[in-house]
Amino acid sequence: MKISRKVKVKNAAGLHTRPASYIVQILQGTLSSVYFTCRKEKVNAKSIMSLLTLAASKNSLITIDVEGEDAESIVGKLVEAFEKQFWEA
Of 48, 59, 41, 53, whose CA–CA distance to 26 is shortest? 48
Taking a C-beta distance cutoff of 8 angstroms, is the pair 63, 37 a contact?
yes
Q: In what order do the strands lie in the sheet with 33-38?
A: 2-8, 61-67, 33-38, 41-44
7, 9, 11, 16: the active-site residue: 16
**Is 16 one of the catalytic residues?**
yes
- The catalytic residues are 16
